[in-house]
Amino acid sequence: MNRQEIDIYVASADGLFRYEAKGHSLQLVLTNDVRATTGIQPFVKDAPVELVYVADYSRMGRGSDEDKNLYSAADTGFIGQNVYLFCASEGLATVVRGSVDRAALAKTMDLRPEQKIILAQTVGFPNK
């Protein structure tokens, strides 16, 4: 049904942004550096880019939460894999991450209750 329920948030030293696919642009959400809150591993605060995949369940119709969990997780997997392919082609390093304090991050990002953090993904430069 082409719900397009996943929003990609981009955390960098310059702030937190939401990717707008139609205009291929980044919309500023927060001006502060929230990278450290996107995960529980020490490298997350140092990598140049942290992606946070957020499913907006209010765009997913009236199905069960079980269905919404399944489809939003699958859709995030496809998107994350595309990031892996792009990073491989550009010589960048990446890791998808499930170890996220979702409650704390949702608070930092000021998300609505229907917005669920699925996964995060670090993008950076490989160790020399």
Ligand X SMILES: Cc1cc2nc3c(=O)[nH]c(=O)nc-3n(C[C@H](O)[C@H](O)[C@H](O)COP(=O)(O)O)c2cc1C
Residue ranges in contact with ligand X by CB under 6 A: 41, 95-99
**Least distance to ligand X, CB of residue 106, Å:** 17
| CA distance linking residue 7 with residue 53, whole number of Å | 6
Element holding 68 (H helix, E strand) = helix 65-90
- The rounded distance, in Å, linking the Cα atoms of 99 and 39 is 6
Instruction: Please identify, using beta-carbon distances, which residue of 98 and 113 lies nearer to ligand X.
Output: 98
41 vs 58 by CB, closer to ligand X: 41
Cβ atoms 28, 12 nearer than 8 A: no
How many CB atoms lie under 10 A from the CB of residue 81?
11
Q: Which of 26/84 has CB closer to ligand X?
A: 84
Count CB neighbours of 85 within 10 A: 11
Rounded CA gap, 109 and 54, in Å? 10
The label of the residue with tokens 């969990």 reads: 69
Return the residue nearest ligand X (CB atom): 99
Closer Cβ to ligand X, 15 or 108, answer by number: 108
We find the least distance from the C-beta atom of residue 62 to ligand X, in angstroms, to be 27
Q: How far apart are CB 31 and ligand X at their closest, in Å?
A: 27
- Smallest gap from Cβ 47 to ligand X, in A, equals 11
